[in-house]
Amino acid sequence: MPIFTFSTLKIYKQHFFTMFDHKGKLLKISIGLLFLLYIYCVVFPVPNEYINILKNYGKFQSIDNLFDYAVPLLAALVIFYAFLPDYKEKIYVFFQFYTDKTYSSMMICRWLTFVVTFSIGVLFSHMMYFRNVAFLDVQSVWMALAKLPNLFMLCAVVLFFMHQFKNAYIGLFVMLAYYVFDYISAGRTLAYLSLGAHSNNFYYQYSPTLYIVNRIVLVVVSIILLLLTCRKHPLINITKWFRR
Amino acid sequence: MQNQLRVQNLCYQIGKREILKNFSFNCTNGIIALLGNNGVGKSTLMNILAGILYPHSGEVYLNEESLLSHRSYPIEKAGYLPQMFDMYHNVTGYDFLSYVYDVKKLPPQDKKQHLQQIVEDFSLQEVIRKKIGKYSGGYKRRLGIAQAVIGHPDLILVDEPTVGLDPEQRIAFRELLSRISLHSITIISTHIIEDVELYSDKLMIIGNDHTLQFDGTVNELIDLAKPHLLMAVIDKRELNEVRNKVHIIEEKRMADHLIQIKYISRNKTATVLDNSCQVREVSLENAYIYFQHAQNL
């Protein structure tokens, strides 16, 4: 069964600025943040001797934290803010009722609107940021795409826990805990679920393949979390375990 | 059109705790009130009927069409007003109703006229273009029920409709419900007995054991309770002593230190006070209290 149908997308598009993001306020803020990021990347690109730095020190740390940690966190905070009233005012009950299929396509659309906006922003900014290393070639595109799984993961984690606990602040707390734990442990403790595998470059030291596995795992887990979140009748119910 | 809702052997549990046990009933157009103590499963039943929760076993058919299909829920045939209804505060009432109309996939050519009719029916003209955040509790509740009736659904579910409303708003709300129930099955979950007495055609009581204990009309419940309710006039000073002997369900102050009490004769000690007589006028509240008391015996 298709999650999206043309008619659902049409309804979503028609009501996005009146229902879900009044006058596009949050979308404008997101685009504004991404514009500032772009300006920063244009003014302060990575140094010319970036590759040499990698070779000498064996790590990207602090250079790539911007795309591995800072931007995904911003995106996750935007997702938190976008869905905050749903859980604060219990509006999610209403949307659950108006989900006529197995998955809430409206919820997926709302999540995707912000995640896709941030992804596009990241792709453009990243290309400018690394223009001294590679620009508008396959390498630059691959480097930029490798940054997206972090963004997907944090945005999926925050929404998943908000929905599971029906409490926005628990979602925020779990997402921040995951983020801070990964950052402090330099991405090592969470292994394949690490956000900082790139910034801290530890997988590169063993095998670049492990890094690719890490990226794929993040994308797959994000998709699973998103689908679990948007199911009308949850397959798992975390709050049930606490009520026993 | 006469609609029919058929619920068969519904069971729902959280962990090992049973919330609904073998719940079965049939109903047709009219207002069906769902009564029961807190935590007996009223809201759970409403959520199952609204397709929000999925039961562990059982079936629900609306006009012989299953409501529990995993693949789809006929939102165009149902309306739901949750207990804590709220909407994004910066959305206008009209934009909200317009969204609901579109989500129900109703014919676009009739949209303007249908929404206008609903706004008039629910006297929302004054506030419909205002942001929902500026609505009073009464208007918000009215908007909530207005969205539930969009598309004239066959089944309308209203959870605790009059909570938080002042007496005047409650009267207005009762009138609205009576009107919409003419053409649909309207199930109302409530614990305000007064509301039920005034507008419900049928009454269902969920017992503390999470099963359906009573399924009938208000008069049937009153008839059931009537033989077990007695009335006596006692001295005010004896009240505490009498309280220890019988289960008093109503007290009415009279002149000269006298109090008229209604009490349940059918209790563990089966005490009957002197000069007692059968209660002639039994209210639904009296009958409901008797019913709950009898369950615990």
Distance from CA of B76 to the nearest CA of A (A): 9
pLDDT at position B117: 93
Of A19, A89, A243, the CB nearest to B86: A89
- Lowest-pLDDT range of A41-45, A78-82, B175-179: B175-179
pLDDT, greater one: B235 or A227: A227
* Mean pLDDT to the nearest integer, A144-150: 89
Domain range B4-87+149-216, its CATH number among 3.30.420.10, 3.40.50.300, 2.60.40.420, 3.50.50.60: 3.40.50.300
- Of A231-240, B149-158, B282-291, where does the model show the most confidence? B149-158
Contact A99 B73 (CB under 8 A): yes
Which residues of chain A have a Cβ shorter than 8 Å from any chain B Cβ? 1, 7, 11, 14-15, 18-20, 22, 85, 89-91, 93-94, 96-102, 106, 232-233, 240-241, 243-244
Supply the pLDDT for residue B154.
Answer: 93
What rounded mean pLDDT belongs to chain A?
85
Does B102 sit within 8 Å of A22, measured CB to CB? no
Which residues from chain A sit within 8 angstroms of residue B16, using beta carbons? 244
pLDDT for the residue A203 = 52
pLDDT of residue A1: 54
Backbone angles phi, psi at A230, to 5 degrees: -90, 0
Using an 8 Å CB-CB cutoff, list chain B residues near A244: 14-17
Residue A13 within a domain: no
Q: From the centroid of its chain, how far is CA A147?
A: 10
CA distance B59 to B76: 20
Q: How far is B283 from chain A (nearest CA, A)?
A: 35
Using an 8 Å Cβ cutoff, are B81 and B157 in contact? yes
Residues of A in contact with B96 (CB under 8 A): 19
Contact B54 A233 (CB under 8 A): yes
Complete DSSP assignment for chain A: --S--HHHHHHHHHHIIIIISGGGHHHHHHHHHHHHHHHHHHHSPPPTTHHHHHHHHS--TTTSHIIIIIHHHHHHHHHHHHHHHHHHTTTHHHHHHT--SSB-HHHHHHHHHHHHHHHHHHHHHHHHHTTTT--SSHHHHHHHHTTHHHHHHHHHHHHHHHHHHT-HHHHHHHHHHHHHHHHHTTT-TTGGG-STTTTS-HHHHH-HHHHHHHHHHHHHHHHHHHHHHHBSS-S--HHHHHH-
**Minimal Cα–Cα distance from A18 to chain B, Å?**
6
Interchain proximity A97–B53, CB inside 8 Å: no
Instruction: Count how many Cα atoms sit within 13 Å of the Cα of residue B297 in the half-sphere of its side chain.
Output: 14
- CB contact (8 A) between residue B16 and residue A97: no
| B8 pLDDT more than 50 | yes
Tens digit of pLDDT for each residue in A85-112? 999 989 999 999 998 888 899 999 999 9
Highest mean pLDDT among B55-59, B243-247, B271-275: B55-59
**Which residues contact residue B83 at a Cβ distance below 8 angstroms, ignoring those fewer than 6 apart?**
B43, B159, B160, B163, B189
The residue of chain A with its CA nearest to that of B18 is: A244
Residue of B nearest to A98 (CA): B75
A and B: number of Cβ contacts within 8 A: 82
Distance, in angstroms, between A202 CA and closest chain B CA?
43
Question: Which residue of chain B has the CA closest to A17?
Answer: B91
Query: Residue B241: what pLDDT?
Result: 81
Residue A204 in any domain: the answer is: yes
Give the range among A134-138, B25-29, B57-61, B181-185 with minimum mean pLDDT. Answer: A134-138
> Is residue A8 domain-resident?
no
Q: Is the pLDDT of residue A233 over 70?
A: yes
Residues whose CB is less than 8 angstroms from the CB of residue B262 and which lie 6 or more positions away in sequence, other chains included = B229, B230, B231, B248, B249, B250, B279, B286
Residues in chain A within 8 Å Cβ distance of B98: 15, 18
Give mean pLDDT, residues B5-9: 94
pLDDT tens profile B246-286 = 888 888 888 778 888 888 876 555 667 777 777 778 889 88
Judging contacts by C-beta atoms under 8 Å, the chain B residues touching residue A106 are: 103
Q: Which residue of A has its CA nearest to B67?
A: A100
A97 to B52: CB separation less than 8 angstroms, yes or no? yes
Q: What is the DSSP string of B93-116?
A: HHHHHHHHHHHTT--GGGHHHHHH
Where in the sequence is the domain holding A232, given as residue range(s)?
25-243
Tell me if A11 is assigned to some domain.
no
Q: Answer yes or no: do B52 and A243 touch at CB < 8 A.
A: no
Domain boundaries of chain B, sorted by first residue:
4-87+149-216, 223-296
The pLDDT assigned to A63 comes to 58
Q: Provide, as residue numbers in chain B, all residues whose Cβ is less than 8 Å from the Cβ of A1.
A: 71
pLDDT category of residue A244 using cuts at 50, 70 and 90: very low
- For residue B133, the chain A residues in CB contact (below 8 A) are none
Instruction: Please tell me which of the candidates B75, B91, B103 has its beta carbon nearest to residue A22.
Output: B91
* Spatial distance between the Cα atoms of A151 and A69, rounded to a whole number of angstroms: 8
CA distance to partner chain B, nearest, from residue A237 (Å): 10
Average pLDDT over residues B84-97: 93
CB contact under 8 A, A18 and B91: yes
Q: Show residues of chain A in contact with B14, CB under 8 Å.
A: 240, 243-244
How many folded domains does chain A comprise?
A: 1
Interface contact flag, A233 B95, Cβ < 8 Å? no
B74 → chain A, closest CA residue: A100
For residue A182, what are the contacts with CB-CB under 8 A and spacing of at least 6? A189, A190, A194, A195, A196
Q: What is the mean pLDDT of residues B214-239?
A: 87
Chain B CB contacts of A240 below 8 Å: 14-15
Q: Do you know the residue count of chain A?
A: 244
A22, A89, A100 member nearest B75 (Cβ): A100
pLDDT of residue B204: 94
For residue A205, is it within any domain?
A: yes
